[in-house]
Structure 1
């Protein structure tokens, strides 16, 4: 196996044994995914973040439905309560994915990870895939719980359609998965939890709040092109949107892809 340099996959010096005795490597993506899966569940952060996301979704969905009932809002799909809660619950995914990356830089174990999987793009891809899968499952389960809680709180001011509920449940899971990929990219690019969280809170909550608070069609259009603005359009049902659902998904996916590319660029260009 080659000794890693700042450029990731190039050997540090000629003559290094490709399979040095006592040094094991995992070249395949499947092995990298298995490694990342084990690492993610070996610490409490994943369980705590998923539990927090579930609790936040339940509380926010109940609040959303209660306010809609009290203020006499028009009848809407019951799944909208769980979809609306993503504005808060997404940060449980953000914290989980950030910790999954930056904790290895903090402890220095990232060097061992890059020796175990010499191809740096595989480390990056494996971490993104694992966190995305966990975020999808956690987001979907939270959406089911939030919908169930909201149904009672709406007290007749919500409609229930099995196909719509299923679609919104999967949409919440997809959104959370894309946010996980976006977060992994930002975390690899910054390599520091405070830096990554500052960028993500600004992008996912700060800027949309400012733009919508200031008002105006131009700022609203910009907010619609930010990750949560687009995500909100494909997670909610029965509401007007400035573009098609497929376009909304593609916007969030484009943000995730851009962050992934930025994180991979830094990972391959800088020393661990």
Structure 2
């Protein structure tokens, strides 16, 4: 099905039209560019610091890609904010009503937002990893290992993790419908709670952290470290968190008026 726009152009309908609409809306605001540039800057600064500390303290040799993988603890919030604003800005302005009129099947609206934000986040995640690895390689000054296959795998893993985190943020934003509420939940889940668990220490708390999104994500992004389960299991753990947020968001979207 197609629809004629006010300008006379024919726009695609169905899910393809929903995706095209979300893509246009995403890049029509300055916030998207600012978030992604901030994430790039954070990655550069963090990887420089990470490699500097490793060189100065003569840490054991490790894959150079670990610097970029570790920077995701901060750079993930660039895509978290981007994904959250993609949803909550429409509720704040009331434009969500137009979105739901244009795409009456509410699951399509949510799915289109998730797909667009996840694809963008995957792409920028790979870019962040490549830039971060390049920065770290020079700063490590020989105290890191470079293997093309491992480095490529880590870059793709960072992209995958940021894509999953972005999808998690979209689901959470649909549940709360407010940026402060969504960001409070996501900051707690992705940073504050893991920091407390690892700071207090102990095998039991470490096991809990391994079940959280960033704990699991760290296991499949980093290389050359001992992990409690396989990378595929780590991906499934993060995906499970995304699925829960997505289903909760869809429930609220269907049950409550815009």
Q: TM (normalized to structure 2)?
A: 0.95
Counterpart residue number, 1:159: 145
1:219 aligned residue (197, 200, 205): 205
The alignment status of 1:39 with 2:25, answered yes or no, reads yes
Partner deviation per Cα, 1:31-89 (whole Å, 9 max, x = no partner): 10000000000001111111011110111001000000001100100000000000000
Aligned residues: 251
Paired residue for 1:13? none
TM-score (norm 1): 0.90
Q: After TM superposition, where is structure 1 displaced by more than 6 Å over at least 4 residues in a row?
A: none
- 1:241 corresponds, among 224, 227, 236, to 227
Paired position in structure 2 for 1:10: none
- For residues 129 and 250 of structure 2, what CA distance do their matches in structure 1 show? 31
Q: Distance in 1 between matches of 2:12 and 2:127?
A: 32
Could you say which structure has the higher helix fraction? 2
1:267 aligns with 2:253: yes
Work out the CA distance in 2 between the residues paired with 1:26 and 1:160: 46
1:102 matches 2:88? yes
Q: How does 1:81-230 map to 2 (within 5 A)?
A: 81-230=67-216
Q: Where does the alignment leave 5 or more consecutive residues of structure 1 unmatched?
A: 1-18
Root-mean-square deviation (Å): 1.4
Please give the alpha-carbon distance, in whole angstroms, between the structure 1 residues aligned to 2:90 and 2:11: 18
